[in-house]
Each structure stands twice: as C-alpha cells, then as structure tokens.
Structure 1
Amino acid sequence: MENKKVLVSGASMAGLTSAYWLNENGFDVTIVERASKIRGGGYPIDVRGSAINIVQMMGIHEELNAQNLNNMKFNILDSQNNIISKFTDESMKDNKDIEIPRGDLTHALYKAVQEKNIKIIFNDSIKTIVALNNGVETELESGIKKQYDLVVGADGIHSNTRKLTFGEEENFTKYLGHCFTGFTMENYLDMHKEAVIYSEAGRTAIMYATENKESVHAFLVFSDEKEPFVNHRNIEKHKELVKNKFKNISGIVPKLLEALDKSEEIFFDTTTQVIMDDWSKDNIVLTGDAAHAPSFLTGQGSSLAIIGSYILANELKNKNNIDDALSNYEKVMKPLAEINQKAIENEGSFILYPKNEEEMEKRSIILKQLENMSTEDMEAHDMIDITRVIEYPNLSNQ
C-alpha cells in the first residue's frame, strides 16, 4: 500500500519513528502533538539491539553515538554523602548500546522527520475519533476535522488515542510498585557523565549528570504497594505527595527537595506496564508505550517503541490492505513486547530502587560483586537481555 493518509498522535520516539517510516514507505503523514514543541531534557535512555539497525537506516546513528553516555559512573552514597560503592554500567550493557538523554534522541528523530517535510501540528490533540467504512474521521481540540485512512496512537502510557478507542486507562495498566518524579536542578556537585544514588528502604534519590555541566536530572523514587491517585497535570499535588514521602530522609535528599520546591516543570508517574489483547480497532492502531509499555525498570521502552513503529510502517507498506497489515504487525511484535514485559519478574531494579530492607541487603551483596569484577569478568558475566533482537528483515543481525 501507499498514498494512504495517516494521522500520528504523539511526537515522541514512537510517533516520530512511525511518521518517518510511513513517509519513507509512500504514505501521506501528519503528526499531532499536545505539547508546544518537541520535548527536550530528560533522563538517560537506551537504544539497544535491533533499534540500532533502525537508527542506522535513518541516518542518525552517528549523531546519537557521538552523544553516547555509555560507561557512566554510578556512585552509591551513605547518609553523610560518602561514596560506599561505585560501578560503571558496562557490566549491564552490550558495547553497541547507545545511552543518551531522552531529549537528544527525540530531537535527532525530529530532525530526521523535518527533513522529510512531514506536517506537524503542535498545541493540539485528538478530541473525537469516528470509525468510517474505509477510514477514520477525527476532530482535534482546535476544531479541525479531517478524514484519514489510518490513525496511529503513539501517545504514551497515558494514551488519549487508546482511551478514545478502547476505553479507560485502568483497564490496560499494571502497576509495578514504584512512583517517581523527575526534574532538573543545579549541578552543585560538578558531576560529569555520572550518577549519585542514596537509598533507604522504599525511597531512593538520584542525580544523573550527562554532559551539561550546569544542571543534572534529579529523581525521587518511592515504593508503595497501592498506586496513589494523583492527577498527572497537578504539579503542586505531585510536590506535596513526594515531599511527604521523603521528609526526614538524609543524604542528598534535602538538596533535591529544595530544588523540587523551586521547579516549575516536573514529571511524575508510576512504574506501569500497558497490557492489551489487541492493539488495533477500526483503522486505529497503537504503537510504543501506548500499546505495550514495559516500564522504565526494563530499560527497553525506547528501543521497543522504535522497533514496533518500524515494523508497523513496514507491514503497512508490504500488505495489500490495512487489516492484514495491522494483524501481521501484532503477530510479529507482540512476542517481543510480552517477553520484555515478563522480564520484570527477574529484573534487578533493586540495585537502584530497593523496596525494603531485604532488597537493601541483596543490593549490598551485588554491589560488592560488581566492584570486585575485572573487565574480563564483566564481559563474561552476561547481563544482556537477548530478547532485544527480533527476527525480522533488516533487524536480525545484531
């Protein structure tokens, strides 16, 4: 197929990748994005396995690799801010992986999309979606009405497209026990390509420094068996919740709470997976976190978003009709998404986010092992998730 009109909802990793490859495959693509611009900043994320092939084919691999944060140092602190353990991330990564600030990746993808002259509508979002016999009619919040052959929901865990098409979010989400808030603060420790971490049972404070010497990405993560209900756009309620959870905590926490109070832009969310029986309905399809969020604990979300979006565009190109393309997209992509979601059962997130005293003890043992490993030991100690690689044309040689 080609010459079909497609509306992509969302301009993050999945949306930009989808738009790029749909355009490349002969489709007329428009992106609609709620924000006023492509979002910058953000914590470091990974591009791994088969996603490496895709960014190479998009011509942005060299740019991403130049900003690679691999071999970041992690310093574990005590309550007096003394380093009690340290390690690098090389023991947990493949040497082809690219670790990069989230905003740098989205801007590289956006640049590739701009070069294709793909239309992007900012400050807007889908208000209604009505299925037609051979397509979809949409109305945006701005009042723009238009018909498309296909709508792609690439609008994240809290997908508006999914809600309008399949129903309320809580029907498709699985809470994993952590809540986190992220924000930017002054780099008062003069860090560079490193992180400092202070944990008490169920509460962790982290500062990530990339190559920007002026600021760091700060995170306050807490564990809670019951998912708290907080409106995701109510910043003051977020701050109040986090400050209550971290009051009377030592280490770097007081500095982070001061910065949190002053911050006007924070990101609050829960560690959540999206699990759905079907990703498509009535010429509307979901991709990326909207369809199969694995949670940030897996470190696979960005790569899965890139891979799934490429496969979706490729299936739409190669099949004779939309129904067959969407069916095969799910058939190919679902096993990879499900395996990565199930990997959380054996995940090692307690190293960074211990939920209780038992996990604090377990973390101490693991950190001692990491410190005592030689480079050769680390290379032999396979902590790489082989499910990053998918058997699919152009993606199977990682």
Structure 2
Amino acid sequence: MSGPTQIYRQLFSFLRQHSHYRDLRHLIALGWMVSALICSERLSLSAWESYVPCRARKAQSVERRWQRFIANQRIDINKLYVPLVLLALKNWQSHRLYLAMDTTVLWNEYCMIHLSVVCCGRAVPLLWKVLEHKSAAVAFEEYQPLLRQARWLLRQHPDVMVLADRGFANHQLMSWLQQSHWHYCLRVPCDVLLHGPRQCPREVRQLWPSKGEALLYRNVGLWEDGIYRCNLVLANIRGVKEPWAVITDESPTLQTLWQYALRFRVEELFLDSKSGVFELEESKIRCADALERLYLVAAVALLFSTTQGMAVHIKGLRQQVDPHWRRGISYLKIGLRWLKGVVHKGRELLMPVPLLCHDPQPCFASKKAQKKHYNKIWFSRIRSLQCKAL
C-alpha cells in the first residue's frame, strides 16, 4: 500500500467514525484533499493531482472534483470538523482552555476571523469565518456567532479564557463575556478612558509607567460611562515598541501578561496557514464561502499533523525528524515530516493522540533562544493600586 493511500485510509476512518456527514462522497473527497495537502504542502487544487489515485486521465478532471467540493453548499463545515477537534480536547475538562481570537486579511479583499485553541506553543483552529471585508477590524455582530457556538461546544469545559487584541475590546464583547462567565485577557487601545486611577477619567496613554515598570490596577472603570469594571495591567516592557494595557477579570499580576502573550500563538497559526507551510495565499479561490470550505482542508490537516507529531514525540521518535537535541520545531512540523517519511521512507503510520494539555518539552531552536525567552520580561519596579468604585 502506498504512503498517500495509508494516510488517506486513516483520515477517512477518523472522519467516518466521528464526523457528521450528509453524503459519504464528501468524506472521501475531503480525505483525499487532506492527504494531498499533507504530501504537497500547497493549498492549491492544481497541485494535488499526482497524490491522488484515480481513473481520470486529465488533470483538469481531478481539479474539477475539488472545485465541486469547495463550491458545494450542502457541506456543513462545523459538522465535519468540530467533532474532530472536540475529540482531540477530550482530556482538557480539568484544565484551563485558552481561546485566541484574531483576524487576518487575504489579498486585501477577504477577512478571516479565527477562534483557536492555544496548545503547546501553537494554536489549533476551532471555528472560523470568512468575510468579504478589506480591513482586519470587524464588528462584534460578525464574530458573536462564533463565540456563541464556541460557548455551546465547550459547555463541558468549566474554565475558559478568551484572549484578544485591541480591535476586539468593546462594550458588546465585555457584556457578552460577563454573561457567559468566561474569563478574559484583552488588550485595550491607548485612547480608552479609565475611571479610578485618577480623580478625573484619564486615557490609558496618560498613565503609562516608565520603561521597565509595571502598574497593577484593581477595579478600574472603562470608557466614558465607566460601567464595566475590571482589573488592569500597564506594562512598559524593555525591547517592546509599545507599552501594553491588558484588562482581565482575574487578579492583576504579571501572570496576566503571560496569559495575554499566549494570543501570539495564533500568529504562528496564520503563518503556517498562509505562507509558512500550506501557502493559502497562493490559492486562486476568490469567494468567501469557498474559502471557508477550502480552509476546512487546511484545518483538518493542521489538527491531524499536530496530533501525529505529538504521537511521534510520545513514542520517542522525534529525533528521526527533528535535528535538534531538544525539541526545536513545532509538533505540526514534526508530524508533517513524519508523514512524509511514511510516504517516501516507509515509516510506520502512528495513531494520532489527543492534544496534550501540558507541553512535555517546550520548543526552542537554540539555547540562546531559550534564554532570551525566559529573560525577556524584567521589571525594575511593580506597583499595585486599588481604585475606588464610582
């Protein structure tokens, strides 16, 4: 049996066992598309012909098969993908789940909203939505359905924290988070009005601490009305261009900065999806609905390869594909290299494992990178202040 066929059969088995589908042909097509993507590492319909056995004699016939899939409105992305990622998170009920929310723009024409799970130095897609929108800033009404769906899907997870950048901090999101009883760690813009740190409301930019210092505020009011009360961490970190202003519902500590920094894992996900691994930006698809279905192929490949990489690490086989003495590449790339070895070297195809709750070996390309990571944030002075309620 050839390598691509082995990968396809395992993928098809998982899809058929856990996904909810309307037509078995949808699973067959999806399995071959994911297998071809893993082998080619190109999210391009025309690049998959050589990795899929079929009776068609013309490459155009094979490409049309994939075109019919991504144009098929009967395909329910959530019913196909969500059961797979929930299965991968089955061991996380007793651990905190960090959800990173962010947007990325494709070709200055489409905006993709991502809601991802932070796991072992990377982010794994949970839900996504594509809009015909030229800006990365989107209204609350556009991503509220994703949050509501995530709340229902993760109802068995009692400890969830949402991480988001400045573009998401608004009244509607704060109200929704309070009603949902989810924790949050959000960065706010420098022009947000704060009630409490001074006698009169002040903008965040007027309260920045000196370089290398941090201020911890409790019970701060936000915006002009000051209705929403939260805790605030202001940090002016050495080596960082802009100071950070991070709000949270939990006690303000330096841990708040570490939690917010987990949001940057989704940037690695964007890099892997768009140019680093799967080259989404080379896709010729120019339709929001079709892009959502095309990204389904990438999401399944990302999840499958990541869990395969974790299985390789647990089996003690990492050094066969990772030249570093300690882990120096992501589980995604470990999994992809192992799967390519299945195709070209006859390696054993391992059973994927659930996503690991704790990283047994954090990824650093060198000892210098490891030292820089742990010594990156130092403060010469830290002050904690209690603000009076209005």
Q: TM-score range by the shorter chain?
A: under 0.3
What TM-score results when the alignment is normalised by the length of structure 2? 0.25
Task: Identify, as 1 or 2, the structure richer in strand.
Answer: 1
Task: Identify, as 1 or 2, the structure richer in helix.
Answer: 2
Q: Which structure is higher in RCO with an 8 Å CA cutoff and minimum separation 6? A: 1
What TM-score results when the alignment is normalised by the length of structure 1? 0.25
Higher Rg of the two aligned structures: 2
